[in-house]
Amino acid sequence: MNNNKINQLFANRGEKKLLSLYFCAGCPTLEGTADVILAMQQRGIAMIEVGIPFSDPLADGPVIQSAATQALKNGMSLKKLFSQLMAIREQVHIPLLLMGYLNPILHYGIEEFCRSCAEAGISGAIIPDLPFDDYLHIVKPIADRYDLRIIMLITPETSEERIRFIDEHTDGFIYMVSSASTTGTQQHFNEQKQAYFRRINGMNLRNPRMIGFGISNAQTLQAAQDNAAGAIIGSKFVTLLNENEGDANVALDKLFSALGLPVSSTD
């Protein structure tokens, strides 16, 4: 029996389309991380990505860059984040992933990072700038010991050969980036992106897929959920969280409304 919460989520979802949200730990407030996670869980969010703030987030658009800057100013660090996550470990029943760049993780130590993830109830990590060879030979053997899933990203530019290689050597799910640009909101996915979604669908990959980057309204959510196991939303939620001074319930009300979902929950 696979005990990793990510694997369990996808194994048990049936036909349900999943909604995963990203927010940056320590923004807008240093101590708000736990409240945001617990509010999301209560409101039916299936999986949460907690951002590790970094001073040079290359793949991120202005919204998430700004959130990371604010979080660092507030005093957020990996050590602080792990202590916050440890405090709510027993209350969290959905998969939590940490999303962050390699630099802070290397500073913390890869083995120490994986151990701290296991202790804090983290099921996976997304490290956008982790080279695949380093993942395969250095990070994966350590992560496997701690039952931690390292989730890899693919983009419209990723070759079929590379996608199949990633599918073969990863577990949990594959993060499908909707476009090769940075994170941010889009009004709709054009035909080129839809063709990319269909192409990946046709590959019959072993791992389930989640589509992220650019999802902010009912149209983009529907397109993502039609072509994958679910959608990941970051910038839109981060913006709403900031605008509402860290009140996750108000931010979620507004997000669900923008996505055309019932405001009571995501079911």
DSSP-derived 3-state class of residue 21: strand
**Which residue in 35, 60, 119, 144 is the catalytic one?**
60
Q: List Cβ neighbours of 20 (8 Å cut-off, separation of 6 or more).
A: 45, 46, 47, 48, 49, 210, 212, 230, 231, 232, 233
Active-site annotation holds for 247: no
Parallel, antiparallel, or unpaired for β 96-99 and 18-24?
Answer: unpaired
Q: Rounded CA gap, 30 and 223, in Å? A: 35
235 in Cβ contact with 23 (< 8 Å)? no
- Which pair of tokens denotes residue 256? 């669900």
Residues paired with 177 in a beta bridge: 212
**Cα angle, residue 178 at apex, residues 157 and 96 outer, rounded to 5°:** 115
Return the closest-CA partner of residue 118 out of 266, 254, 235, 5: 5
- DSSP letter (8 states) at residue 30: T
Active-site annotation holds for 49: yes
**Which residue in 49, 90, 167, 267 is the catalytic one?**
49
From first CA to last CA, the distance across the chain in angstroms is 27
**Cα angle, residue 187 at apex, residues 183 and 189 outer, rounded to 5°:** 80
Active-site residue set:
49, 60
